[in-house]
Chain A
Amino acid sequence: MNIDQLLQDARTRVSAAGVSAELDALDTELLGRKGSITALRRTLGQAAPEDRPRLGQAINDAAEAVEALIATRRAELVSGESARRLEAERLDVTMPGAPARLGRTHPLTATLNRVQDIFAGLGFEFLDNPDLEDVKYNFGALNYPEDHPAMDEQMSFFLEGFNGKYMLRTQTTAFQGRILERRKPPFRLATIGRCYRYEAVDATHGHTFHQVDCFAVGEGINMADLRGTLQAFVNRMFGEGVTVRFRPDFFPFVEPGAEIAISWESEGETRYLELGGAGLVHPNILESFSIDSEKYTGFAFGLGIERMPMIQYNIPDLRLFWENDLRFLEQF
């Protein structure tokens, strides 16, 4: 077989090879140790010496050409095979995915964390305080006169067996006395958690709810600082368009006292929502802990937590927070 024939034949057969294995066989047949090209090389010795370089070159060229043919065809075959495999693996991407269960944070916890993070950013240090509280901290240390009608708004649960000494705190403000017993101003402290009132449960009342309380005492702290702090909080929590409204209100532990509401525009109307109570720390409280009320002043405020997600997500009923119904929880 001469070189041209061999090349011709190789071209035909390589391009006809349909699978890699066929190509491997061809590779061996043409280029292997016992292959056609090797056989041709062996005939080189029989050629005239002056022809040998030319013939040798021609055989080398042919070998390279065959190698190239096979490589090209191999690439073609591999990509074809891969394409077929990929095609065979085609999925219906519209089929439903495997069910996945995700961990989710309860909307109340999400709100508590957010509130805490904002006040922490405003320089308040958060403390843990007990739910099962001594009555003296819940009321006495907060300038409540003995058995005062102001307590009527704070119907309380009492612990059995203590003769009225321990109660479930009705307000996180109960932490003030605990602080004043062991810390001296200046300080900027906060606490957040559950409070309890003896109230029948309905859409807007619960026997258990959450509050955040902030308590700052230092030199020169005033009502404007209180408002500024609340305004900063409200803007971070609810957005720039929301403003704090103060209105005179009464709590035994502050003077002057204020009710905090927020107002915002919605569908051309001004809407209001009460968030809690605030004021300057009553000087009687500071003095009862031997703090000079002429030198030091402070502010305190307590905000209800539940109203925040209620307004944010348009939740109409407080009870949904406590029912832990997945149909509710999975919305957040």
Chain B
Amino acid sequence: MKYPTHWVLEYAPAPWSAEELAERLTMSGSEVEHMRDGVMEVKVTPNRGDTLSMIGLAREVSALSGVAMQYPDLSVPEWGPDVNTLARVDIEAPDLCPRYAARVVRNVKIGPSPEWLANRIEAAGLRSISNVVDVTNYVMLEFGQPLHAFDYALLQDHRIIVRRALPGETITTIDGVERALGPDMLVIADAKHAVAVAGVMGGSDSEISDTTTDVLLESACFDALSVRRTAKGLGMSTDASYRFERGVDPNGVARAIDRAAMLLAELAGGEVAKGVVDVYPVPVEPWTLTLRPARCNALLGTEFTTGQMVDALAALNMAPAGADPISVTVPTYRPDIHREDDLAEEVCRMVGYDFIPATAVRGEHLNGGISAWERFRRSVHETALACDWQEAVTSTLVDEATVNALGFTATARLSNPLSREVNVVRPSLLPGLVDTVRRNLRQGRGDLGFFEVGRTYYVKDNAPGEDWKWAAAVLGPPVTASWTGTAAPADFYTLKGALDAALARLGAPAAVYEPCEQIGFHPGRCAAISLNGRPFGIIGEVHPDAAGKWDITGRLILFEVDVAALHHAASARRFEALPRFPTVARDISFVVNRDVPQERIAAAITRGAGALLKDLTLFDVFRGERLGPDVQSMAYRLTLRADDRTLSDAEAVETMDNVRAALAADIAASFR
């Protein structure tokens, strides 16, 4: 809210410069965001509706500076008949309207406001409209009490009825919009129909116009939650609703209406009828609280004296009495104060938060730290760095089209997305990584390797859930030419090799790859990965059509695996004694049908070699005319070793015979 400093200082003339004023207010909780042309923009916290006015903020200045408050003159020159003969007020919904006061001012002359008044409300950010409307706004800015002025002549039977809206009831508000009212919305009605949405906006039917002569002034208190829901329901927020939502003091109602009547008499030549119609069935009384000085210091960690506490509470108009405990009476404009802890804060903000010392947390020893699960996630991250990939941090909210284009389904969707580009919660990290690749390709970059370790989201069994995933995206061919030669472009096997090495480093067993098809992936270059027989992830090359659509040239290879499954499968590290006996290397080559998966060949060799086989490496695959169209030659190196002896040549020969037999039997390999 905007506060012209001179207006505030009129009620609490503290001997401060503008900078000092701003600093003191900021450091006591009313943050002055900036000051321009003598006007402060203050960020009022939602608990301090009482400071949403010049007098409200002046009370803070008075408390901080010790200067006494100087309230405006409230003597109303009354004239003519008793107001009760002119108007009647009935509150039919006392739960939503604790107090309603009305005055009638007759024979006003509608015209422009005097310059000083127009300038003040405009400096505070409102528009000057006419003397009558401006007076209601002026008093709202001054006291924080929203007011409304009705054209008295246009109120059917001169009656005010505060009630809930009737079924199907509508109102055209003064902004010219016809609005349908809901059954929980509170309205001000005359004998016939709604003339205002209570606490939000008046109706155009009874609006002040150039021809208005008599005015009915409303100063009322409405339930904060009801006003908030009504304003939200109607999609409106007004200066009045903003204040009611944050709480308006029912005991300030009368002051404000007197002030407005006085100003109307003065500035619009009005005759104020005698008295106020004031319906206030259950007056709100100030409440008492106690503050134990020792508790106050225990909460704050300070050594404030009882005297300091009493002074602070007195400055805040809380009438402290006694020493231990200190008894206080809370003024009704401070509904935010209802516990001892609230008083401790009041004391502290008056004395100064700077007096809070800095100490170590007291209490017994507690084990802090990072969980094993989180440490594992970090080791996944480190392993990915060791693969020479750049970490990306991509958005949780993604475009559903990209998600679907990669064959994923977003089950966690937003009911109120910011835009169609960020309308679902990511079910996979891959859309973000693909986007990262595209972005960098557009910058002319090549030789890309990205990874992310992050959460993915789903909805299952009627509840949301989250998984941690590790994904990578690698793009070949490298475009960074070098005089030292150019590395081979990354392909499916590059990424698979990196993943397998990473799994080994993380202590996981070997993963199993099975061909699979997924939308967005190359149908012949995509595998479902499992670990310990459980689904683990996917690896594959992006379908050239999809890549083309995203302007990706070259082969983009992706994988995504589940980090929790990895953590579960990874075994604790144990030292194994280094082998004492030498290894023997033996090569074997054979011809086999091309459609035999390598996995089966390796299994046959492993079966044949038995326990002596320590390592198996495929080092050559050859296809050629001479071999025939359906077959290929494969060459493996076996590393053999016995743990308890030096392997004899005869044993090695025997092992290789067994391997050949197994290959012939299991996969119909032929040898030459």
Contact with B along A317-332 (1 / 0, CB 8 A): 0000111111101100
Q: Which residues of A contact B389 (CB under 8 A)?
A: 103
Q: Which residues of B contact A283 (CB under 8 A)?
A: 339, 341
The dominant DSSP class at the A interface is: mixed
Cα-based distance from A159 to B364 in the complex (angstroms): 41
Set A166, A194, A229, A326: member contacting B443, Cβ < 8 A? A326
B368 lies within 8 A of A188 (CB): yes
Q: Which residues of B contact A128 (CB under 8 A)?
A: 371, 373-374
Cα-based distance from A159 to B365 in the complex (angstroms): 40
List the one stretch of B152-160, B354-362, B595-603 in contact with chain A: B354-362
Q: Residue of A at shortest CB range from B366?
A: A188
Do A324 and B357 contact each other (CB < 8 Å), given the known contacts A98-B482, A200-B418, A280-B341?
Answer: no
Q: Residue of A at shortest CB range from B391?
A: A106
A106 lies within 8 A of B369 (CB): no
Q: Flag whether A15 is at the interface (Cβ < 8 A).
A: no
Whole-angstrom distance between the Cβ of A172 and the nearest chain B Cβ:
14
Whole-angstrom distance between the Cβ of A121 and the nearest chain B Cβ:
7
Q: Flag whether B363 is at the interface (Cβ < 8 A).
A: yes
Q: Flag whether A54 is at the interface (Cβ < 8 A).
A: no
Q: Which residues of A contact B455 (CB under 8 A)?
A: 131, 194
A227 lies within 8 A of B298 (CB): no
Q: Flag whether A140 is at the interface (Cβ < 8 A).
A: no
Set B368, B391, B414: member contacting A124, Cβ < 8 A? B368
A159 lies within 8 A of B229 (CB): no
A161 lies within 8 A of B413 (CB): yes
Q: Which residues of A contact B459 (CB under 8 A)?
A: 159, 161
B46 lies within 8 A of A148 (CB): yes
Q: Flag whether B569 is at the interface (Cβ < 8 A).
A: no
Q: Flag whether A241 is at the interface (Cβ < 8 A).
A: no
Q: Flag whether A116 is at the interface (Cβ < 8 A).
A: yes
Q: Flag whether B466 is at the interface (Cβ < 8 A).
A: yes
Cα-based distance from A14 to B301 in the complex (angstroms): 95
Whole-angstrom distance between the Cβ of B251 and the nearest chain A Cβ:
21
Cα-based distance from A151 to B348 in the complex (angstroms): 26
Q: Which residues of A contact B363 (CB under 8 A)?
A: 186, 218-221
Whole-angstrom distance between the Cβ of B570 and the nearest chain A Cβ:
18
Q: Which residues of A contact B418 (CB under 8 A)?
A: 198, 200, 207
A123 lies within 8 A of B361 (CB): yes
Interface size class on chain B is 35 or more
Set B300, B397, B412, B413: member contacting A224, Cβ < 8 A? B300
Cα-based distance from A98 to B362 in the complex (angstroms): 56
Set B246, B342, B366, B451: member contacting A125, Cβ < 8 A? B366
B464 lies within 8 A of A321 (CB): no
B416 lies within 8 A of A158 (CB): yes
Cα-based distance from A218 to B365 in the complex (angstroms): 11
Cα-based distance from A150 to B393 in the complex (angstroms): 30
Cα-based distance from A122 to B345 in the complex (angstroms): 26
A228 lies within 8 A of B390 (CB): no
Contact with B along A237-260 (1 / 0, CB 8 A): 000000011111110000111110
B457 lies within 8 A of A256 (CB): no
List the one stretch of B24-32, B201-209, B508-516 in contact with chain A: B24-32
Cα-based distance from A250 to B45 in the complex (angstroms): 6
Interface size class on chain A is 35 or more
Whole-angstrom distance between the Cβ of A251 and the nearest chain B Cβ:
9
Q: Which residues of B contact A66 (CB under 8 A)?
A: none
Q: Flag whether B174 is at the interface (Cβ < 8 A).
A: no
Q: Which residues of A contact B361 (CB under 8 A)?
A: 122-123, 188, 216, 218, 221, 225, 228-229
Q: Which residues of A contact B457 (CB under 8 A)?
A: 131-132
Set B356, B371, B387: member contacting A223, Cβ < 8 A? B356
Whole-angstrom distance between the Cβ of B19 and the nearest chain A Cβ:
14
A248 lies within 8 A of B374 (CB): no
Contact with A along B438-458 (1 / 0, CB 8 A): 011001010111110001010
Whole-angstrom distance between the Cβ of B547 and the nearest chain A Cβ:
18
Can you list the 7 inter-chain pairs with the closest CB atoms, starting with the nearest? A224-B301, A103-B385, A256-B345, A248-B29, A250-B45, A132-B464, A218-B363
Q: List 22 A-B contacts (CB under 8 A).
A: A99-B447, A99-B480, A101-B388, A103-B385, A103-B451, A113-B378, A123-B361, A127-B371, A128-B374, A131-B455, A149-B46, A153-B46, A168-B425, A227-B301, A228-B361, A247-B31, A248-B349, A256-B299, A256-B348, A297-B299, A324-B450, A325-B439
- Known contacts A248-B28, A248-B349, then 20 further A-B pairs from the complex at CB < 8 Å, ordered by chain A residue: A103-B390, A104-B391, A108-B393, A120-B369, A123-B361, A126-B374, A132-B412, A147-B229, A149-B46, A160-B415, A219-B362, A222-B301, A223-B301, A224-B300, A225-B360, A229-B361, A245-B354, A255-B341, A255-B342, A280-B341
> Which residues in A have some Cβ–Cβ distance to B below 8 Å?
95-106, 108-109, 113, 116-117, 119-128, 130-132, 145-150, 152-153, 157-161, 166, 168, 186-188, 194, 196, 198, 200, 207-208, 216, 218-225, 227-232, 244-250, 255-259, 280, 282-283, 297, 321-327, 329-330
